[in-house]
Amino acid sequence: MSELSVKHLLGIKYLKEKDIQLIFETADHFKEVINRSIKKVPSLRDITIANIFFESSTRTKLSFELAEKRLSADVLNFSAAQSSVKKGETLIDTVNNILSMKVDMVVMRHPSPGAGIFLSKHVNASIVNAGDGAHEHPTQALLDSYSIREKLGDVSGKNVVIVGDILHSRVALSNIFALKLQGANVKVCGPRTLLPKYIESLGIEVETNLIKALNWCDVANMLRIQNERLDISYFPTTREYTQQYGVNKVILDNLDKEIVIMHPGPINRGVEITSDVADSKQSIILNQVENGVAIRMAVIYLLASKIK
Amino acid sequence: MSQKVLLSSKEINIILHRLACQLLERHLDFTETALIGLQPRGVFVAERLSKILKEDYGVNRIDLGFLDITFYRDDFRRGDKTLEASSTNIDFLVEGKKVVLIDDVLYTGRSIRAALTAIQSFGRPREIELLTLIDRRFSRHLPIQPNYRGRQVDAINEEKVKVMWKENDGKDIIYLISK
């Protein structure tokens, strides 16, 4: 097994367990590369990649761009805010125009769920989904699992709770798929209004009591409230949410065991976690960011090797 | 398919000792030298040489590293398969050092070309030499020659040189395989 089973990375749902293992093994090598004094390898020098972002992003965009540059690919950056999309151009037209400039791979973030899947059926390029609405964010889930594997040795058999706004979170869905595929036990925790109605059908459990959830888990992945996607009021006030579902140092120190704290960012300090939790030695938030570059290098390298 | 023994275990041992002596003659106490085995198969040669130098010739300390050249190869996307990487492990600086690249079989020279690029990521060596156990002369694609060679072989392109090691394959033996 030395090849991905897919041509695009549209979601974790389309991956097999051995794909994830191959991505992790490849990321191990790239992690070594990016810790050298010269952090660049020439593998993708004849590949051009367009980063097309229809939605704002800091971490993911920088991480992808850095990963691409460290692989020596040529990089085009495009944000919808300053583009012809504003003038009424369709998604396929926009992307086909970019591809006419001989682009081999497209990394896309889009507010509509399924945008990447749609695109992969209509254009001739390798597509990497960098987040499509509330659907999936596969590279985030891969780097989250990779960070758990790095910290705890293995993902299989570990108890992971995802806390917060599950309903609007693509990170949650991708993480659930990835963790289940690797044999972890998964619970979600949050106010009922922010949990999708049939979430249990994914083979996971719901726990609405934060302390119980934290005492059960090895890893807590804390999600932010996606205020930009809250169309109606899902909880009375942010303050009340924090009282019920925010993790502070007192809660953390009173647990039965030492758990690992993760966060995909951006953090709303003082809402889902307090600063002393985010910056504690139990937090691997900045490791996640570092691993993000290695994971994205691995994904791009493995997908690019299938471009003929 | 037929295979003949190119070198027996005893012959390999004699050759490794000779190569160790040649290295010793030029590098003396190895304080300024780094041995770099190329992944995956050059590692075995490098480990053996390091062991012989330490145990039989009293060299105290040798900087021994392993270099993976996968990401520097020039045939990315040109074959059917994804190129699979191995690990790199160089926990010392190569800046200013005399580096000896070590591989089992020198064939087209393309791996060595990639290794020459890859090693630059770890600093600027004072000089770089090449040691190879088997040198398949007349099959080079690039102007690359070894400084130290175990055995020269005139193998045609259809033939394959298979190097086996006790640590990995149960015994030390080198075959020439023809289809």
Q: ipTM score of the complex? A: 0.82
Amino acid letter at A45? Answer: R
The neighbour count for residue A37, using CB atoms within 10 Å, is: 9
Per-residue pLDDT 10s for chain A (308 aa) are: 589 999 999 999 999 999 999 999 999 999 999 998 889 999 999 999 999 999 888 889 999 999 999 999 999 998 877 666 667 788 888 888 888 888 999 999 999 999 999 999 988 899 999 999 999 999 999 999 999 999 999 999 999 999 999 999 999 999 999 999 999 999 999 999 999 999 999 999 999 999 999 999 999 999 998 887 777 888 899 999 999 999 999 999 999 999 999 999 899 999 999 999 999 999 999 999 999 999 999 999 999 999 88
Residues of chain B with pLDDT under 50: none
B122 contacts A41? CB cut-off 8 A: no
Q: Give tens-digit pLDDT for B10-61.
A: 999 999 999 999 999 999 889 999 999 999 999 999 999 999 999 999 999 9
User: In terms of Cα–Cα distance, which of A93, A99, A95, A43 is closest to A68?
Assistant: A43
- Tell me if A282 sits within 8 A of A152, measured CB to CB: no
Task: For residue A10, give how far its alpha carbon lies from the nearest alpha carbon of chain B (Å).
Answer: 20
Please state whether the peptide bond connecting residue B40 to the residue before it is cis, i.e. omega within 30 degrees of 0: yes
Domains and CATH numbers, chain B: 7-73+84-157 (3.40.50.2020)
The DSSP secondary structure of A129-142, one letter per residue, reads EEEETTTB-HHHHH
Sequence-distant (6+) residues with CB within 8 A of A107 are A49, A50, A51, A52, A64, A68, A128, A130
The size of the A-B interface in CB pairs under 8 A is 53
Quote the pLDDT of residue A82: 65
Integer Cα distance of A239 and A251 in angstroms: 17
Q: A24 to chain B: nearest residue by CA?
A: B85
Chain B: closest CA distance from residue A24 (Å): 12
Specify the pTM. Answer: 0.91
**H or E element that contains B169:** helix B166-169
- Tokens read off for A290: 């570092």
Tell me the domains of chain A and their CATH numbers.
12-137+289-304 (3.40.50.1370), 138-288 (3.40.50.1370)
What does the alpha-carbon distance between residue B28 and residue B24 come to, in Å, rounded to a whole number?
5
Which of B87, B137, B172 shows the shortest CA–CA distance to A33? B87
Subunit contact B71:A37, Cβ cutoff 8 A: no
Are the Cβ atoms of A29 and B88 closer than 8 angstroms? yes
Q: What burial class does residue A29 get, using C-beta atoms within 10 Å of its C-beta: 0-12 exposed, 13-18 middle, 19+ buried?
A: buried
Interchain proximity A29–B87, CB inside 8 Å:
yes
